[in-house]
Structure 1
Amino acid sequence: MVLRMYSGPATACGAFTTGGTESILMAMKAYRDKGRAERGITEPNIVVCVTAHAAFDKAAQYFNLECRKARTTGPQEVDLVHVRSLIDANTVAIVGSACQYAHGTIDNIPKLSELALSYGVGLHVDCCLGGFLVPFMRAAGFELPHEYDFRVPGVTTISCDPHKYGFAPKGSSVLMFRTPELRHYMYTFVTEWTGGIYATPSILGSRPGGVVAATWAAMIHHGEAGYIETTRQIVGATRKIGAAIEAIDGLELMGRPDVCVVAWHGKPGSGINCYSLCDALKEIRGWDLATLQRPASVHLALTLPTSANADLFIADLKEAVAMVRADPVKYSGGTAGLYGTASKMPASFVEESAKVFLDVMTLAAEEESAPGAAAA
């Protein structure tokens, strides 16, 4: 079903994974192994945009890849000239997003395809976020800035998450391949193990079947008509909020609200700190925005509930701007203070702080002493 959504050719195939991160990891493993087997590449690299999902960095760490970062153009779209300059004989794949997480922009996939075909490298399209919106946008009445699927000849893999706008349970993602030959490089085989022949398609050995069945059920329940309607609501609200932000004095869009994310910051010279707006919006009605960095900005990723409240959000955002302007000192701490401090810290300190955060997250509460047990 997902392959049909993405115009897969007769040769197209795929795999079910536990989420967008695993799909991205498996795609990058496939490209690494293909490069080693077919081109003798021992020091592989991938070229991604600075806005590409952090899972590509994770894949690079896991699979000993060099992750080269291309800059963006004005609308936070990948800079194609910079991508070209980063490709060399050890490049195994380049990456585009449709849409990217931070600012909601769809990269120019057709132009990336031209580069991929010219240099003989793979092209992965990350549709994890917009996976169940982008394929239905035209039917819902919206134009796309660029094509994104297997109709683009250089596209060789696509990742898509039903557990986002497909309304499937968490832990469901699909990784699609143009050919089964490329998919073979994702597999792991251990043929001489004493326990027998071991073969797995993705990272997991034991795989839960319930989430697969529930994902199928969600797609059958909503159907094409249901997804077209949710796309109409979500993309419509996203673009409505984007247009409203452009009209608010002191605010400036970051990127393009192509699909389901609208991002913005304070216009230079306006005196508005976007992180301060986060705290003001939370104070007004509990709005919870995602904080971005490099450059400083914030975003709202719209869901069906937020789409139904687009007008309310716009009114609250206008009120938050007035509150921050009226009392900038009040909102200079909190999120603004945290990110302002973090931006001045060396990366090594931030990494150490992240380790402490993850340690605390994984702490298990100590078991209570059994009744009658002596105190230590």
Structure 2
Amino acid sequence: MALHQVSNGAGQTYDDVYSTPISARNLAAHRVPEHSSDPRAVAAMVKDELALDGNSSQNLATFCTTWAEPEVHHLMDVCMDKNMVDKDEYPQTAEIESRCVHMLADLWNSPEGGTTMGCSTTGSSEAGMLGGLALKWRWREARRAAGKPADRPNLVCGPVQVCWEKFARYFDVELRQVPLEPGATGLRPHQLREYVDENTIGVIAILGVTFTCDYEPVAEIAAELDAIQADTGLDVPIHVDAASGGFVAPFLQPDLVWDFRVDRVVSINSSGHKYGMAPLGVGWIVWRTADHLPEDLVFRVDYLGGDMPTFALNFSRPGGEIVAQYYTLLRLGHEGYRKVYEACAASARALADEVEAMGPFTLLYDGRGALPAVSWTLADGGSAGFTLYDLTEQLRTRGWQVPAYPLPPKRQETVVQRVLVRHGIGYDKIMLLAKDLRAAVDRLAGGSTGAPETPGFHH
């Protein structure tokens, strides 16, 4: 666009967006501006700043959706005015939420999929906290009914995402985090006896461990709790944090028993905006049966026009993500989800083979049997001549975001890297990553930490 006034053909002229007053100064950072500005110019300036963010399609650290079909963008626009909490004003959006809950209950083999309780949330963290609150309330009711003290609840888990640490701190629950054993990628059933007691409100089993991408063995954990109950009388329920795996396992590993087919599993949370392929931010919580959600946790609101039950931690929130989730479930179906994640898993396995062939790495998870992802560590950090943190910085020069971080206790000395293969990240892109990874390793092993060389242009 030319840097002068242009006419719209109706006698009016408009300044080029880069010659308007707002483009001639820094954008406001601490005070609301006194005067209005041209909307085109404001949008252009903000968009220019956003261009400084990383390329989300190269962000292989995040589990979250970074690509969506045009139809999803359109539905999100249509739903900008829909407040999910106002079910009286937006009854069809509320109906769509209910359909999603029952679809997921069926997907996760709920014995009462058509009548059980569940809801959407802003993400799997909120959903997990609701599951934790239900565990605490039911434990407390049982303790009080038995005439026992109910002031020292604890929650047992392996390496978990920070939302469970938040839950424990915010809601006054002791978090008994079982340390990783050598060679393990998550909680192992035989570790439970040392941590479970009469004050345990539940055990968290992770379907897609954040640190390694592997699944914890839910059925085996349940079997160990069965044995503990037989020996001690302690009846400890399981909540499955399927933030990532809840939308993967039913399609990639349909025979894996991890969900409500396990009698001890009372609730499951998952993230629609991760492998559910919905936009940020939507999560889901489903209880095995309606009675596993204590009535004390349900509030009834009548000041929006109608008597509406609500049991999410948030109040007002957008309905677009829920509608987009429903669209994705309808659009893909079992067949589509399976095809997408078979392709993602094939790309992950190919990357794992490339990483293993490079020499200095040991795979922790090779993309087989759990999430479409890969995690690895240095085989011998002392002789490699570089750290995984160095490798992370080298990959950033090509735009890749591949995190390096220590494992949880007692394996904190082990630093790992992780790549998540999501919808919208194709095989070709993963192979380009493998090429850049190999080049970065060669530079670091050779003692160079400079930017990668690019071929010159010659006539």
Structure 1 and Structure 2 fold alike (TM over 0.5) = yes
Cα displacement string for residues 149-196 of structure 1 (whole angstroms, at most 9, x for unaligned residues): 1112221111111211222121211111111111226724489x9xx9
Identity of paired residues, percent?
A: 25
CA, structure 1 residues 21+138, in 2 after alignment: closer, same or farther (shift >3 Å)?
closer
Matched, 1:171 2:281: yes
- Alignment match of 1:245 (pick from 323, 331, 355): 355
Indicate the residue corresponding to 2:373 in structure 1: 261
Deviation at 1:85, TM superposition (A): 0.7
The structure-2 alpha-carbon separation of the partners of 1:186 and 1:177, relative to structure 1 and needing over 3 Å to count, comes to farther
Aligned match of 2:189: 80
SS at match of 2:383: coil
- Separation of aligned partners in 2, 1:172 and 1:89: 34
Shift of 1:64: 0.3
On the 8 A contact 1:19/1:172 being kept in 2, the answer is yes
2:258 is matched with 148
Q: Scaled by the length of structure 1, what TM-score is found?
A: 0.79
1:274 and 1:185 mapped to 2: Cα distance?
49
1:39 is the counterpart of 2:111? no
| Matched position secondary structure for 1:160 | strand
Contact 1:149 1:158 in 2 (8 A): yes
Please give the TM-score of this superposition, normalised by the length of structure 2: 0.65
Amino acid in structure 1 at the alignment position of 2:399 = G
- The equivalent of 1:346 in structure 2 is none
Q: Which residue of 2 aligns with 1:101?
A: 210
Letter in 2 for 1:29: L
Q: Give the structure, 1 or 2, with the largest relative contact order (CA under 8 Å, sep 6 or more).
A: 2
Q: 2:243 aligns with which of 128, 147, 152?
A: 128
1:273 and 2:377 aligned? no
> What is the CA deviation profile of residues 5-61 of structure 1, one whole-angstrom value per residue up to 9, with x for unaligned ones?
111112643221110110011011111111111123221000010x21111101001
Unaligned runs of 5+ in 2: 1-102, 145-149, 407-411, 452-459
**Counterpart residue type for residue 2 of structure 1:** L
Q: Which residue of 2 aligns with 1:351?
A: none
Tell me, what secondary structure is at the counterpart of 1:131?
A: helix
Q: Could you tell me how far apart the structure 1 residues matched to 2:295 and 2:133 are?
A: 7
User: AA paired with 1:261?
Assistant: A
Distance of aligned partners of 1:236 and 1:13 in 2 relative to their CA distance in 1, 3 Å threshold: farther
Aligned partners of 1:264 and 1:297 also within 8 Å: yes
**AA at the equivalent of 1:288:** Q
Q: State the Cα distance separating 1:274 from its structure 2 match.
A: 1.0
1: CA distance, partners of 2:292 / 2:423: 36
Q: 2:318 aligns with which of 201, 204, 208?
A: 208
The answer to which of 109-118 and 172-181 deviates more is 109-118
Deviation at 1:256, TM superposition (A): 5.2
Residue 219 of structure 1, aligned match among 303, 306, 329: 329
Answering whether residue 274 of structure 2 is matched by residue 159 of structure 1, we say: no
- Aligned partner of 1:39: which letter? R
Query: What's the offset of the Cα at 1:199?
Result: 5.2
99-108 vs 206-215, which moves further: 206-215
**Displacement, 1:84?**
2.1
Query: Any unmatched runs of 5+ in structure 1?
Result: 332-376
Cα-to-partner distance string for 1:197-222 (whole Å, 9 max, x where unaligned):
99531212334333322221222122
Q: 2:348 touches 2:366 (CA, 8 Å); kept in 1?
A: no
Partner in structure 1 of residue 23 of structure 2: none
Contact 2:300 2:310 in 1 (8 A): no
3-state secondary structure, aligned to 2:276: coil
Q: Tell me, yes or no, if structure 1 residue 289 matches structure 2 residue 409.
A: no
Preserved CA contact (<8 Å) 2:124 2:270: yes
Instruction: Tell me how large the CA RMSD over aligned residues is.
Output: 2.6
Which residue in 2 is equivalent to 1:228? 338
Instruction: Please state how far the C-alpha of 1:249 moved relative to its aligned partner.
Output: 0.9
Mapped contact 1:137–1:231 kept (Cα < 8 A): yes
Secondary structure of 2:391 counterpart: helix
**Equivalent residues of 2:188, 2:221 under 8 A apart:** no
- Paired residue for 2:174, among 62, 66, 90? 66
Verify the 8 A CA contact 2:391 2:440 in the aligned structure 1: yes
Structure showing greater Rg: 2
Tell which deviates more after alignment, 37-46 or 206-215.
Answer: 206-215
| Contact 1:266–1:274 under 8 Å retained in 2 | yes
- The secondary structure found in structure 2 opposite 1:128 is coil
Residues 179-218 of structure 1 correspond to what in structure 2 (within 5 A)?
Answer: 179-184=289-294, 187-189=297-299, 200-218=310-328
